[in-house]
């Protein structure tokens, strides 16, 4: 019996070493879920249809077109308000398990408050949810993705502490309308963008306050999330058994060749810890190292108290533990080292912040993608998940966004295929080697959209959208064919040939995993020249 067990163990070890030799042989577990994401302002259009009120993005794009790279706005975008059935169709064509979309607060609650629910807004999301369910696709809903009602901004927006109640009231309306059909919820998408980036760069809501505003926003965003989570937990979970968390965008930081781990860790605590520690750590509250640092700097600068508002004991308890999984958005990474004297510090999304005294760089071998902030480092995704698990303990990780853009919008987007393949490879390694409990992967984005200050220039879509066409024709790219294959097979190896598309380009895929594929690739390269 002992010998028998021993040989089983040896076979298991040899088997797993052998099987892990080649990552392309690893597969996603059958329960793993694949999806794609969008956000209301970026795709819906219909900015002033029926009783919808303006959001901060409507106002910002209309009043400050010079701050958008192509002067564009989301007034019509992909026209998903009218063409949502097309979205459901392409989501179903991809075979996705879920589709993550967001609800527009000013569309559902035109005053920003629940005194009146828009019947057009309510119907729109209800039909979308029903359409997805009828197509066998699970709706994953983001309650807030940066499009605050302007009426609330006029009252201070995310810098007003009352916003956590306004948001909680809004979230309760959303849950009461859709929790019977939606089981996975994201309360808030990327507070780091609408707090740190917005208040630093002065993009919507066009308030520049890199030393004060961003910290008020951060604290209120975390409390708003916590209140919404508790509402679901108490009033809806017992009946509907869904899961709720927020989505954090985190950059991965590691020391450059002269850098110290301690400095990289400080950057991680600032970039990721500030949005995680209050929720996911056992003790709650701000990461202690950051709290001390900002307090010290504030006093040195002549402020009477820390610019970072403290959590009260009640707020610590309120916020701590308000999660059902970790929603992670990952795009890019930086190297860190202590700033040398006189060196200019600052990088998106932390530019203008004197707190860290860290210089951020990149490795020459990291490929560059547009826009300006985007350096590709797939391994960062794996490191990040391990770091988060080490910091906050074992939990479920749900990758709620990753993806890459280009400016030329080509259909045969081999760079995007490579991006997804390499990031999915890191997810596989996280699952199989690091034993991280990753349960889902979300491609950003389903189709080209309005990319905030990068307007329509940045193309992130698995599907290209023809913005000059009244019908906003959606056309699958090679990456759509690739992703569809991943979803169907659970394998990241590109198919050699796909009969999926009819556009004469996307029906052939690059595959560079072995010599045979290389030959196929050369064949296709030559062949494409005749397309």
Nearest to 38 by CA among 182, 139, 170: 139
CB 400 within 8 A of CB 453: no
Q: Which stretch binds ligand BGC (CB under 6 A): 157-165, 186-194, 268-276, 293-301?
A: 186-194
Report the nearest approach of ligand BGC to the CB of residue 119 (Å): 28
State the Cα torsion 103-329-489-439 to the nearest 10°. -90
Pairing of strands 184-189, 138-144: parallel
- Is residue 189 a contact residue for ligand BGC (CB under 6 A)? yes
Burial class (CB in 10 A: 0-12, 13-18, 19+), 516: exposed
Which of 291, 355, 401, 418 is catalytic? The answer is 401
Q: Tokens at residue 51, please? A: 């009783």
Nearest to 272 by CA among 171, 191, 393: 191
Report the nearest approach of ligand BGC to the CB of residue 373 (Å): 9
The residue whose two tokens read 């929790």 is 179
Q: Tokens at residue 499, please? A: 């009969």
Residues numbered 455 to 484 that lie near ligand BGC (CB under 6 A) are 460
Is 291 noted as a catalytic residue in this protein? Answer: no
How many Å separate Cα 281 from the centre of its chain?
21
- Is residue 451 a contact residue for ligand BGC (CB under 6 A)? yes
Count the site residues for ligand BGC by CB under 6 A.
11
Question: CA-CA distance, 68 to 58, in Å (whole number)?
Answer: 12
Find the binder of ligand BGC among 249, 251, 335, 358 (CB under 6 A): 249
Report the nearest approach of ligand BGC to the CB of residue 64 (Å): 18
Report the nearest approach of ligand BGC to the CB of residue 248 (Å): 10
Q: Which stretch binds ligand BGC (CB under 6 A): 91-99, 151-159, 189-197, 505-513?
A: 189-197
> CB-wise, 202 or 495, nearer to ligand BGC?
202
Report the nearest approach of ligand BGC to the CB of residue 362 (Å): 17
Taking the chain, what is the end-to-end CA distance rounded to the nearest angstrom? 63
Find the binder of ligand BGC among 44, 211, 291, 401 (CB under 6 A): 401
Find the binder of ligand BGC among 133, 193, 316, 505 (CB under 6 A): 193
Pairing of strands 375-376, 367-368: antiparallel
Nearest to 38 by CA among 95, 75, 93, 88: 88
Q: Which stretch binds ligand BGC (CB under 6 A): 187-195, 213-221, 232-240, 490-498?
A: 187-195
The residue whose two tokens read 């959590």 is 311
Nearest to 279 by CA among 354, 391, 185, 355: 391
The residue whose two tokens read 């309308």 is 177
Nearest to 450 by CA among 103, 70, 62, 77: 77
> CB-wise, 148 or 509, nearer to ligand BGC?
148
State the Cα torsion 378-380-384-385 to the nearest 10°. 30
> CB-wise, 39 or 132, nearer to ligand BGC?
39
Residues numbered 31 to 50 that lie near ligand BGC (CB under 6 A) are 39, 42
Find the binder of ligand BGC among 444, 456, 483, 500 (CB under 6 A): 444
- Is residue 448 a contact residue for ligand BGC (CB under 6 A)? no
Site mask for ligand BGC (CB under 6 A), range 290-329, x = bound: ---------------------------------------x
Q: Is 330 left (phi over 0), alpha (psi -120 to 50) or beta?
A: beta
Is 138 noted as a catalytic residue in this protein? Answer: no
Report the nearest approach of ligand BGC to the CB of residue 292 (Å): 29
Which of 86, 190, 254, 265 is catalytic? The answer is 190
Which residues are annotated as catalytic?
190, 401
Binding site for ligand BGC (CB under 6 A): 39, 42, 189-190, 193, 249, 329, 401, 444, 451, 460
């Amino acid at each position: 019996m002992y010998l028998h067990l021993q040989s089983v163990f040896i076979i298991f070890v040899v088997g797993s070493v052998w099987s892990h030799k080649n990552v392309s042989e690893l597969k996603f577990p059958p329960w793993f879920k694949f999806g794609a994401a969008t956000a209301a302002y970026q795709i819906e259009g219909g900015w002033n249809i029926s009783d919808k009120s303006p959001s901060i993005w409507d106002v910002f794009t209309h009043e400050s077109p010079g701050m958008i790279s192509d002067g564009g706005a989301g007034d019509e975008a992909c026209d998903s308000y009218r063409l949502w059935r097309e979205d459901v169709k392409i989501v179903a064509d991809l075979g996705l398990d879920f589709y993550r979309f967001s609800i527009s607060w000013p569309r559902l609650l035109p005053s920003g408050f629940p005194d009146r629910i828009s019947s057009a807004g309510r119907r729109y999301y209800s039909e979308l949810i029903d359409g997805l369910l009828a197509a066998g696709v699970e709706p994953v809903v983001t309650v807030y993705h940066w499009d605050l009602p302007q009426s609330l901004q006029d009252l201070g927006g995310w810098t007003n502490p009352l916003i956590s109640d306004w948001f909680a009231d809004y979230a309760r309306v959303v849950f009461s309308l859709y929790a019977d059909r939606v089981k996975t919820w994201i309360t808030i998408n990327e507070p780091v963008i609408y707090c740190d980036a917005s208040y630093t760069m002065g993009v919507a809501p066009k308030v520049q306050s890199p030393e004060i505003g961003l910290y008020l926003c951060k604290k209120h965003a975390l409390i708003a999330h916590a209140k919404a989570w508790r509402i679901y937990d108490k009033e809806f979970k017992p009946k509907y058994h869904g899961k709720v968390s927020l989505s954090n965008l985190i950059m991965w930081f590691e020391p450059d060749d002269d850098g110290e781990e301690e400095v990289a860790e400080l950057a991680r605590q600032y970039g990721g810890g500030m949005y995680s520690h209050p929720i996911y750590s056992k003790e709650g509250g701000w990461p202690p190292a950051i709290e001390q640092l900002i307090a010290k700097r504030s006093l040195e600068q002549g402020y009477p108290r820390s610019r970072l508002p403290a959590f009260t004991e009640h707020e610590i308890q309120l916020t701590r533990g308000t999660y059902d999984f970790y929603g992670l958005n990952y795009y890019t990474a930086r190297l860190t080292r202590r700033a040398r004297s006189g060196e200019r510090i600052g990088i998106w999304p932390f530019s203008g912040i004197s707190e860290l005294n860290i210089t951020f760089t990149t490795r020459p071998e990291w490929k560059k993608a547009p826009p300006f902030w985007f350096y590709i480092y797939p391994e960062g995704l794996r490191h990040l998940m391990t770091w988060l698990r080490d910091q906050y303990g074992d939990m479920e990780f749900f990758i709620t966004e990753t993806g890459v853009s280009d400016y030329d919008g080509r259909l045969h987007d081999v760079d995007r295929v490579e991006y997804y393949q390499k990031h999915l490879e890191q997810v596989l390694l996280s699952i199989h080697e690091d034993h991280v409990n990753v349960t889902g992967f979300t491609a950003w984005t389903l189709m080209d959209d309005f990319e905030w200050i990068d307007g329509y220039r940045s193309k992130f879509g698995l599907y290209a959208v023809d913005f000059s066409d009244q019908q906003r024709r959606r056309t699958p790219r090679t990456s759509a064919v690739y992703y569809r294959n991943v979803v169907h097979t659970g394998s990241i190896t590109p198919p050699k040939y796909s009969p999926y598309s009819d556009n004469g380009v996307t029906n052939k895929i690059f595959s560079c995993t072995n010599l045979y594929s290389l030959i196929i690739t050369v064949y296709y390269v030559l062949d494409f020249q005749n397309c």
